[in-house]
Amino acid sequence: MHLESIRLANFKNYPEANLEFSQEINCFLGKNGSGKTNLLDAIFYLSFTKSAGPSLDGQCIRHEEQFFSIKGAFRQEEKQKMVLCGLQTGKKKLVKLDDKPYKKASEHVGKFPVVMIAPNDTDVIRGSSEDRRKFFDAIIAQVDQIYLQNLIQYNHTLKQRNSLLKQFAERDFFDRDLLDAFTDKLIDLGQQIFQVRQKFLESFRVLVNDHYQNLSEASEAVDLQYESQFAGDIRSAFQESERKDLILKRTNVGIHKDEFPFLMEDKPIKKFGSQGQQKSYLIALKLANFDYLYQEKEVKPLLLLDDIFDKLDDFRITKLVEMVASETFGQIFVTDARPERTLGIFEKMDQEVKMFAIESGQVEQMG
């Protein structure tokens, strides 16, 4: 699978752009703030039907415009697949595959898998448990559509239960049957999500460990664990938390409280790992992400590398470039603010490389 071309209209800082890509390596080169990352984000959007960053859909519309659209032509099993993602102000987001609209945009997730490595990925290690849940949910969702729909339903039910708890406090009443109905649904959906996460972690942790050992110059033992209230008596946990839920007006038990501890020598890597060790662990997570999707879907995901040469040391860059040179990956998209560095890295490789110069939302192919 690869992305043959992309056409943008009013997406972020691009009034329009039309690019045709190499099946192997594509580099977006330009100064910081020129729009390199926005091109990667457009490719990410074609896979996930949303931005990779915190941007809401409406914020992807170019300033003072009323709509944006992204059209991508994928080549998959010798067939061309056309994906359209678009939004007009005041209307529902549109997602089409081969000119057929989806009822729900989430149904598209997983059809064209993507792995992105970006500077803000450090949030996965240094951030909150929510950052880690989102990271793993995004991986599993590309493989398991039922998991994704269960997760969407769970989050919707959680909002409803929290809203009900607030109503109890504001109106000074309590309805046991109504609260139990939402609790039962959270337990049912949560149990299904828990089982998938548990099975996923069994295989994923092995991939992470293998990549870490390859990326690290040391031999420290690393691990990835999974902590969930669903590992115990979840119904009792809900009952014991009921008074706390009523006081705080939110649900304090459930799958939305799951944690994924990242460990090095049995200690949290976010507290005890050096900057280099954290970088190795992060890249190991991303490469394990790539391997897992490849194993499960039997197709190499697109690999998006955003400004990573500025964030990694020479040793880790060398390891990553060795994998690129060995054709471990499929189609790759790279951004860099230093064109001479990218040219130096890729010019010695046998793969086809296309270079694009980016300046203030304008794109021009180099060479």
Per-residue pLDDT reduced to its tens digit, 65-106:
999 999 999 998 889 999 999 999 999 999 999 999 999 999
Q: Strand 267-268 vs strand 25-29: parallel, antiparallel, or unpaired?
A: unpaired
Q: 86, 110, 113, 145: which is closest to 3 by C-alpha?
A: 113
Residue with tokens 């006081």: 247
Residue with tokens 């949303």: 50
Q: 182, 186, 153: which is closest to 166 by C-alpha?
A: 182
- Residue 2 above 90 pLDDT? yes
What strands lie across the sheet with 267-268, from one edge to the other? 222-224, 262-264, 267-268
First to last CA, the chain: 25
The burial class, CB within 10 Å (0-12 / 13-18 / 19+), for 362 is middle
Residues of the chain above pLDDT 70, percent: 99
Q: Per residue in 268-324, pLDDT tens?
A: 999 998 888 888 898 899 999 999 999 999 999 999 999 888 777 777 788 888 888
- Residue 218 above 70 pLDDT? no
Write the single-letter amino acid at 327.
E
pLDDT of residue 312: 76
Residue with tokens 């300046």: 359
CATH topology for 123-298 is Glutathione S-transferase Yfyf (Class Pi); Chain A, domain 2 (1.20.1050)
- Whole-model pTM: value is 0.91
Residue 53 main-chain phi, psi, to 5 deg:
-95, -165
Cα–Cα distance measured from residue 7 to residue 84, given in angstroms and rounded to the nearest whole number: 10
- Among 30-34, 59-63, 252-256, the minimum mean pLDDT is found in 30-34
Task: Say if CB 8 and CB 14 are below 8 A apart.
Answer: yes
- To 5 degrees, how large is the angle CA 313–CA 319–CA 320? 90
* Dihedral (Cα; 154, 157, 158, 160), 10-degree rounding: 170
- Residue 352 above 70 pLDDT? yes
User: Which parts are annotated binding residues for ATP?
Assistant: 30-37
Residue with tokens 């897992």: 292
Q: Would you kindly state where each structural domain of the chain is located, as residue ranges?
A: 123-298
Mean pLDDT of the chain: 92
Average pLDDT over residues 232-244: 96
- To 5 degrees, how large is the angle CA 12–CA 14–CA 18? 130
Average pLDDT over residues 187-193: 98
Number of alpha carbons in the 13 Å side-chain half-sphere of residue 270: 13
- Among 72-76, 214-218, 226-230, 363-367, the minimum mean pLDDT is found in 214-218
User: Which parts are annotated binding residues?
Assistant: 30-37
- To 5 degrees, how large is the angle CA 211–CA 212–CA 218? 135
